[in-house]
Structures are given as structure tokens and as C-alpha cells.
């Protein structure tokens, strides 16, 4: 048996087209385009690439993209002041402060300063709390994208055994909340979990969000399971070249799973598409308020 590949690129393209349609409608109704502002502090190369990709995708769906690139030495107070200005700016519907921030800045403090109605990353404690208690919220983009792909593969997941590996606030915890809201039976595994293999073997759905290359072995996968690999690990090959790889041993898992996401080309593209969807959602909610 060979798993069906879940094509994140194609699914993301479809979602971006859907968002572009919503943006056109928004413009026709409100005579302005939704605006997403991204703030980058410092010169982390990977972050700069992500910010560039987010800006391009934002413009492509007809939204206004604004970027603030600040030096690594920016004082925390100055960043908080910029966030306050963006909160007050009526043309800004979404604010995203690219993580990680330099060590002298308290990321939690900055996230908490963002207006929850503009928190398109879904990291503000108010949005995290609403998601946890099942109220409508801006939901973190990566787990939102994972859920869309799981639903596309499996349809109704009520009662399914779901295993989320990783308990970060960005991926693992919100993923578990979304799966719980979709009526799956959810287990969260983490660095202290005993016998990860046994948990994986029971799961109809496995979401791996750890950051350890090939942690999840193919032989552990329950035959027919849906495997979502969030991991993005850059490894060096014997040739000296580097490549991106996931948390799942793809070659082993593809022989047992029913559906599987590749890395790259799976979760990554969906994350940006969900950011655009969140920005349109925030703009629509603000316009109706
Ligand atoms: P994190 O470091 O914040 O959390 C990792 C989690 O893995 C922790 O909860 C830890 O308890 C758990 N863990 C560590 N070792 C483990 C083990 N041996 N067994 C079980 N659990 C273990 O990471 P994160 O921000 O949640 O990101 C996880 C991965 O997902 C990273 O590779 C990251 O690059 C990737 N990521 C990808 C996207 C995307 O868009 N594709 C978005 C966010 C994160």
C-alpha cells in the first residue's frame, strides 16, 4: 500500500483563490482592501525569507501588505510603541510580529500588546483562550492548515483517534484544541511521553510538530492513518548539501499510511494561505463591528 500524497501546494492555491474572491467582495463593499502589516526585528535570514513570502502572497490576493523592518537593537519599548500605532491604524486589519524576536525583547509581552481583533497569528492569550473554550477566535495558521488537510483526506473525523506530537503554543496545543472541537479523541505527546511508538500505532491521525528529523518511524504508523508532518528540519547530506526534511520518516511511513503530507510542499504552503484567510476574517469582523 502506498499513501495518497496530500498536496499542500495545490490545497493552498485553492484557498488563496477563495481568499482572493473574498477580498474582491470586501473591496466592493467597503471601498478599501484589507491590510496586513508584518513587523520584522533583526536580520535572521530565515525570518526575512518568510516575511518576503508573506508580503508577496498578501499582494497576490489583492490585500495591502506593509512591512516594518527594524534593527536587532530595537528597544522593546519602541516595538511596543509601533504595535500601539498599528492597533490604532484603521487601515491595518492584521498585525504579525515575526518570531523569534531578539533575546532582549519579551515576545509574550509583545504578543499580548497586539489588539486581539488584529492578531492574525492567533497567538494572543485572548484568542488562545477562546479557542480552548470553543469560542470563535483567530486561530494559529499552521494548525488551521493541518485541520483543512485532515478534513480533505478523511472528511468527518468524529471519534477518530488523533495523536498530536508536540505541545507548543504555536502548533501542538492549538492543533489539539481544533481536533477536540472536531470531536476527535485527542492525545498529546511531548518530550516526556513514554513509548511514543505505542501512541502512534493507535492513531488514525498523527500530527508531528516536534523539530526532530525522522523521529516518527514508518513502522510505527497504523495502516491507513492520516499523517501530517509539520516538522521543518534542515539536514546536511553526506554530499555536504542541505535539504529540508520532516519529523516523520517519509519513505517508511508512505508504505503504511493512507494519506501523508510531504516536506516541503505540505504544511508550509498551507500556513501562509491560512494567514491570508485570517486577515480577511479579521478585516470582515472589524468592518462589521
Ligand atoms: P517547539 O520547539 O516549540 O516544540 C516542540 C515540541 O516537541 C515540544 O512541545 C516538545 O515537548 C516536543 N518534543 C521534543 N522532543 C520530543 C520527543 N522526543 N518526543 C515527543 N515530543 C517531543 O516547536 P514548534 O514551534 O511547535 O515547531 C515544531 C516543528 O514544526 C519545527 O520543526 C518547526 O520548524 C515546524 N514548524 C513548521 C511550520 C510550518 O509552517 N510548516 C510552522 C511552525 C512550526
Q: What is the pLDDT of residue 187?
A: 98
109/170 same-domain check: no
In a domain, 10, yes or no: no
60/166 same-domain check: no
CA of 289 to the centre of ligand 1 (A): 36
Domain with 79 in it: what CATH number? 3.40.50.10860
Domain with 198 in it: what CATH number? 3.40.50.720
In a domain, 5, yes or no: no
171 lines ligand 1 (CB under 6 A): yes
Residue 88 reports pLDDT greater than 80: yes
Long-range contacts of the stretch 108-114 (C-beta < 8 A, 24+): 109/76, 109/80, 110/76, 110/79, 110/80, 110/83, 113/80, 113/83, 113/84, 113/87, 114/83, 114/87
Distance between CA 206 and CA 226 in Å, rounded? 6
Number of domains, the chain? 2
Q: Can 121 be counted among the known catalytic residues?
A: yes
In a domain, 221, yes or no: yes
Predicted confidence (pLDDT) per residue in 53-87, tens digit: 999 999 999 999 999 999 999 999 999 999 999 99
173/241 same-domain check: yes
256 lines ligand 1 (CB under 6 A): no
Of 98, 130, 173, 249, the active-site residue reads 98
CA of 90 to the centre of ligand 1 (A): 35
Residue carrying the nine cell digits 483543512: 148
79/164 same-domain check: no
60/167 same-domain check: no
In a domain, 132, yes or no: no
Predicted confidence (pLDDT) per residue in 246-285, tens digit: 999 999 999 999 999 999 999 999 999 999 999 999 999 9
157/104 same-domain check: no
Q: What is the DSSP secondary-structure string of 251-273?
A: HHHHTT-SEE--SSSSHHHHHHH
Question: Looking at ligand 1, which residue's alpha carbon is closest to its atom 21?
Answer: 190
Q: Can 118 be counted among the known catalytic residues?
A: no
Average pLDDT along the chain:
97
216/150 same-domain check: yes
Q: What is the pLDDT of residue 82?
A: 98
169 lines ligand 1 (CB under 6 A): no
In a domain, 156, yes or no: yes
Count of alpha carbons within 13 angstroms of residue 176, beta-carbon side: 19
Distance between CA 93 and CA 286 in Å, rounded? 7
Residue carrying the nine cell digits 497586539: 114
Predicted confidence (pLDDT) per residue in 116-172, tens digit: 999 999 999 999 999 999 999 999 999 999 999 999 999 999 999 999 999 999 999
Range of the domain at 58: 31-115
Predicted confidence (pLDDT) per residue in 13-24, tens digit: 999 999 999 999
Q: Can 98 be counted among the known catalytic residues?
A: yes
In a domain, 286, yes or no: no
165/79 same-domain check: no
157/107 same-domain check: no
151/98 same-domain check: no
In a domain, 22, yes or no: no
83/178 same-domain check: no
145/263 same-domain check: yes
128 lines ligand 1 (CB under 6 A): no
211 lines ligand 1 (CB under 6 A): yes
DSSP code of 38? E
In a domain, 7, yes or no: no
Amino acid at each position: 500500500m502506498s499513501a495518497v500524497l496530500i498536496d499542500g501546494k495545490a490545497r493552498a492555491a485553492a484557498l488563496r483563490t477563495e481568499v482572493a474572491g473574498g477580498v474582491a467582495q470586501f473591496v466592493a463593499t467597503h471601498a478599501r482592501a484589507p491590510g496586513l502589516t508584518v513587523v520584522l526585528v533583526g536580520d535572521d535570514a530565515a525570518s526575512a525569507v518568510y516575511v518576503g513570502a508573506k508580503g508577496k502572497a498578501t499582494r497576490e490576493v489583492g490585500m495591502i501588505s506593509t512591512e516594518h523592518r527594524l534593527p536587532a537593537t530595537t528597544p522593546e519599548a519602541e516595538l511596543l510603541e509601533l504595535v500601539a500605532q498599528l492597533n490604532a491604524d484603521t487601515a491595518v486589519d492584521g498585525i504579525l510580529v515575526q518570531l523569534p524576536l531578539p533575546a532582549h525583547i519579551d515576545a509574550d509581552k509583545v504578543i499580548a500588546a497586539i489588539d486581539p481583533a488584529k492578531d492574525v497569528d492567533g497567538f494572543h492569550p485572548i484568542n488562545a483562550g477562546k479557542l480552548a473554550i470553543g469560542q470563535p477566535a483567530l486561530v494559529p495558521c499552521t494548525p488551521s492548515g493541518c485541520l483543512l488537510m485532515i478534513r480533505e483526506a478523511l472528511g468527518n473525523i468524529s471519534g477518530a483517534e488523533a495523536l498530536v506530537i508536540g505541545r507548543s503554543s504555536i502548533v501542538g496545543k492549538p492543533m489539539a484544541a481544533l481536533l477536540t472541537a472536531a470531536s476527535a479523541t485527542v492525545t498529546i505527546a511531548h518530550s516526556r511521553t513514554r513509548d511514543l511508538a505505542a501512541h502512534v500505532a493507535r492513531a488514525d491521525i498523527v500530527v508531528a510538530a516536534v523539530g526532530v528529523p525522522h523521529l516518527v518511524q514508518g513502522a510505527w504508523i497504523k495502516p491507513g492513518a492520516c499523517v501530517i508532518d509539520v516538522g521543518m528540519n534542515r539536514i546536511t547530506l553526506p554530499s555536504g548539501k542541505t535539504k529540508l526534511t520532516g519529523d516523520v520518516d517519509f519513505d517508511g511511513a508512505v508504505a503504511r499510511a493512507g494519506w501523508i503530507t510531504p516536506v516541503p510542499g505540505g504544511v508550509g504552503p498551507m500556513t501562509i494561505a491560512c494567514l491570508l484567510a485570517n486577515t480577511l476574517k479579521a478585516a470582515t469582523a472589524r468592518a462589521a463591528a
